[in-house]
Chains A and B, each alone.
Chain A
Amino acid sequence: MTAVLQARGLGKRYGRHWALSDCTLDIPAGHVVGLVGPNGAGKTTLLNLASGHLTPTTGEITVLGGRPGTDPNQLRKVGFVAQDTPTYAGFTVAEHLRLGARLNPGWDDATARDRIARLGLDPGQRAGTLSGGQRAQLALTIGIAKRPELLILDEPVAALDPLARREFMQGLLEAAVEHELSVVLSSHLVSDLERACDYLVVLVDSRVQVAGEVEELLATHHRLAGPRRDPDQLPRDQRVVSASHTDRQSTFIVRTDSAIHDPVWTVSQLSLEDLVLTYLDSSTRVAPRPVLEVQR
């Protein structure tokens, strides 16, 4: 399988501010990838780099083996639903489909029309009068009917109410199955992505904190609670992600491939949300020990 997205030392700077720095990623195809992080962490920057809207300041990025956004062929392979799902307010729903048909050689008109009909959208209605959820669905329809290999979505559900969120995700995932799409979508809420994603990238302060298959992440992260200890005393194959201490007790979140045998620890599993929060919380986060990275 080829990688849908590969980044090496990718960075983007605006003036003096680095919106994304030293980002190295290798996301395999066939996944629904969740990109999580707080607002301003660099999610939009990364996605805009992947779609070719931005050009990197440092490093390089390839999407489906090609440089993003450079030629029509690359544009054809990658769909992008931008934040706030922009549409032409004065255009009708049908005109948006026509736009898609005119600008995309691989346009799948049957799929587009079918989706619009199933959503109960009136083709004659102007996009400006649609609800947020309907507009998002319209943008998604254009993204799907373009028939890309990879569909990128930037905070697609952030502005939607819970029902619209649900319906949007249903439509997105259904299309992912039907057209064998790889999907990358961002959110600042883990709960939006928990069920939908099987690959997770956590981005904080313009840096990638952790990336990997959800199942593997859940299987390799453990919470250890026990008598107070220094993180350095833990076995070297246990990478300490976070540590918090009281007078007598220490709680560690560690990442390790091997089983934890030390009987002093009460070991428990983390939910995906806890796992992500661990990486988001800078107060307890422990900087990675560089030597340990080698063994993985």
Chain B
Amino acid sequence: MIEFHLDERSGLSPYLQLVRQVRQAMRLGLLREGDQLPTVKDVVARLAINPNTVLKAYRELEHEGLVAARPGVGTFVSATLTDGSLAAHGPLRQELRRWLAKARRAGLDEESIEALFLTTFRTSAGEEIA
């Protein structure tokens, strides 16, 4: 079971935040196939948000084929997002750390590192789509 949280300043609507948190948890292996998502009532009671927001998020996840609702029981994870990629996380993180150390040695501060990473990430993402 995971616990949702909302970030007021993220600029994302609460419903999208919920969807992302489920996907994230599935990617990180925190949610596996067959796991139950918190009930709508639990989420509402915890976050004090509109029930329809939660329903909408769950419907979206269902539509994406990630979860399945069992009437009267709850909503369960019905897919897996980790595939084999979870295994690759370790080595990739190692490489990223080395790159960060290199960047610092080159005299970049936190903000510059972040900017460099984001612009590169976006350009390459854009190229892939194109």
A and B touch in the complex (CB under 8 A): yes
- The answer to the question of A170 belonging to the interface, with a C-beta cut-off of 8 Å to chain B, is yes
Cross-chain contact B49 with A174 (CB below 8 angstroms): no
Cross-chain contact A173 with B51 (CB below 8 angstroms): yes
Cross-chain contact B51 with A195 (CB below 8 angstroms): no
A19-77 at interface with B (beta carbon < 8 Å): 30-32
Q: CB < 8 Å: which of B6, B14, B41, B52 contacts A174?
A: B41
Main secondary structure of the interface of A (DSSP, over half): helix
Most chain A CB neighbours (cut-off 10 Å) among B13, B14, B44, B47: B44
Q: CB < 8 Å: which of A166, A178, A195, A218 contacts B50?
A: A195
Q: How far is the CA of A178 from the CA of B40 in the complex (A)?
A: 9
A167-222 at interface with B (beta carbon < 8 Å): 169-171, 173-174, 176-178, 195-198, 218
> Taking A195-B6, A195-B14 as contacts, is the C-beta distance between A177 and B47 under 8 angstroms?
no
Q: How far is the CA of A62 from the CA of B40 in the complex (A)?
A: 31
Cross-chain contact A196 with B50 (CB below 8 angstroms): yes
- The answer to the question of B45 belonging to the interface, with a C-beta cut-off of 8 Å to chain A, is yes
Closest A residue to B14 using CB positions: A195
> Taking A195-B6, A195-B14, A198-B53 as contacts, is the C-beta distance between A177 and B44 under 8 angstroms?
yes
Closest B residue to A191 using CB positions: B8
Residues of chain A within 8 A (CB-CB) of B52 are: 30-32, 198
* Per-residue A-contact encoding for B1-45, CB less than 8 Å = 1, 0 else: 000001000000110000000000000000000000000110011
Residues of chain B within 8 A (CB-CB) of A170 are: 44-48
Cross-chain contact B48 with A177 (CB below 8 angstroms): no
Residues of chain A within 8 A (CB-CB) of B44 are: 170, 173-174, 176-177
Q: How far is the CA of A178 from the CA of B41 in the complex (A)?
A: 7
Cross-chain contact A198 with B46 (CB below 8 angstroms): no
Q: How far is the CA of A32 from the CA of B52 in the complex (A)?
A: 9
Q: How far is the CA of A169 from the CA of B46 in the complex (A)?
A: 10
> Smallest distance from the beta carbon of A128 to chain B beta carbons, Å?
28
> Taking A177-B41, A178-B41, A195-B14 as contacts, is the C-beta distance between A32 and B48 under 8 angstroms?
no
Cross-chain contact A32 with B50 (CB below 8 angstroms): yes
Residues of chain A within 8 A (CB-CB) of B13 are: 218
Residues of chain B within 8 A (CB-CB) of A195 are: 6, 14, 47-50, 53
Closest B residue to A180 using CB positions: B51
17 A-B pairs besides A173-B48, A173-B51, A196-B48 with CB distance below 8 A are A31-B52, A166-B48, A170-B44, A170-B46, A170-B47, A171-B45, A173-B49, A177-B40, A177-B51, A195-B47, A195-B48, A195-B49, A195-B53, A196-B49, A198-B52, A198-B53, A218-B13
Identify the B interface with A (CB < 8 A).
Answer: 6, 13-14, 40-41, 44-53
Identify the A interface with B (CB < 8 A).
Answer: 30-32, 166, 169-171, 173-174, 176-178, 195-198, 218
Q: Which 5 A-B pairs have the closest CB atoms?
A: A174-B45, A169-B48, A195-B49, A177-B41, A173-B44
